[in-house]
Structure 1
Amino acid sequence: MLHSQTRPQSRQQSTGPFCQFHTSSRDFARPQKSRDRGPKSTEDTQTDFEALDVLGNTPAPTTGIDACTPEGFALNNGLRLSGSGILLVGGEAFRWRPWVREGSKESTNSEGGVGNERGFSGRGGLKNSKGQWEVQKEAWGVLDLVWPKPDLLIIGTGPSVMPVSPTTRKHINDLGIRLEIQDTRNAAAQFNLLATERGVQQVAAALIPMGWEEGN
């Protein structure tokens, strides 16, 4: 009697194009329930941002305006000007009388010139026929010669802000210089700040005294 032997069926392996991967679960950190960061630090190395002065170690420019007077200006280097405006370019200070027109004789009242009790003298003015602040091209001679030229010119038009004429604005812009127009007191303060931040080579100022009155 023959006994048939049956072979155990081999398990057939699946060879499909997809494989199944098993990932193990990870225990991620849970967010903290409390926001308590502990006691306040008493270290001396903490920065007091309210008392932080980023320009504290930057020396003020020698041509910075220390005071604006009705007749002129006082600089922080000790220089005082009276009866004149001032032009600050490249770290230098120049006496500036843009109201004196070309060909006119600058003189005192006793000599027949036009002036007032504040000491301004000379024939001319700073307003054109449209009431705009206008300075002759010859008054900007320093800006024509200086190199490199400043990036910004701050103009102080006297006790109040006045619109600058297109002719004056175009002449300054053609030199590659931007304009900022303010009354003299605010113009001086802005010059002090920007000249300290950016340097006197980048910022210039042309200021008329606070006591200037048209018709001098």
Structure 2
Amino acid sequence: MAVRQRAVTTLPNLMRSLRKGSPKAAPNQPLPSLRRAFSLYDQINLIDNVPEDQLRFQGYTDTGFTVNGVQYEGSLLCIGNLLLSWTPKKFSEITPNCLSIFQLVRPIPEILILGCGRYIEPVNPELRQFIRSTGMKLEAIDSRNAASTYNILNEEGRIVAAALLPYGVSS
């Protein structure tokens, strides 16, 4: 608040000196900060400006997810704004074969967010190598955070994919 108060008191003097054309009116005095005292979220709220055709995770349960107001049970695979039911029911069932769609999809998403269920699981080297071979980066996190990360990246207009197990799944 002190910075804002100083800016409010200094700004009129700075404006007067600029109007007079006197560049020496405020020697060695730093310019006031005009930064607002609000967060970026207060200034730009992307959540309220999401297009209707864009996928948005709105909730999760132990057995599924709510996407754009529709409840889905089981695992989901999202590529951009395409939503598919996905066969793995637990983390150990995730193989290169169940992600083979990424050999066909164009453009290739820049990142695959892997929602591991309730807990983060280590990704086996074979699966990690397969994902790298498609040109994607991999982020393996719990499904709750995976859904949130997908929302943020998708809202930014980035080409992103998510493979999500329900939150109630544990190893």
- Normalising by structure 2, we get a TM-score of 0.71
Per-residue CA deviation, residues 170-204 of structure 1 (Å, 9 max, x unaligned), is: 001100000111111011111101110134xx111
Q: Find the counterpart in structure 2 of residue 10 from structure 1.
A: none
> CA–CA distance in 2 between the matches of 1:149 and 1:68?
27
SS at match of 1:150: coil
User: Aligned pairs, how many?
Assistant: 143
1:74 corresponding residue in structure 2: 66
In the alignment, which of 88, 98, 110 is matched to residue 139 of structure 1? 98
Contact 1:62 1:75 in 2 (8 A): no
Query: Which structure has the highest helix share of the two?
Result: 2
More strand by share: 2
Consecutive unaligned residues in structure 1, runs of 5 or more: 1-27, 38-45, 100-124, 128-133
1:190 aligns with 2:149: yes
Pair 1:173 & 2:132 matched: yes
What's the CA shift string for 1:88-143, capped at 9, x where partnerless? 013110111224xxxxxxxxxxxxxxxxxxxxxxxxx533xxxxxx6222201322
The answer to whether the aligner puts 1:59 opposite 2:64 as a matched pair is: no
**Hey, what's the Cα distance between the residues in 1 that align with 2:64 and 2:24?**
70
Percent of residue pairs identical? 30
Residue number in structure 2 paired with 1:96: 86
Corresponding letter in the other structure for 2:87: R
Structure 1 letter corresponding to 2:91:
L
Give the superposition deviation at 1:31: 5.5
Corresponding letter in the other structure for 2:117: G
* Unmatched 5+ stretches in structure 2: 1-21
Partner of 2:108: 149
CA-based RMSD of the aligned residues comes to 2.9
Q: What TM-score does the superposition give when structure 1 sets the normalisation length? A: 0.58
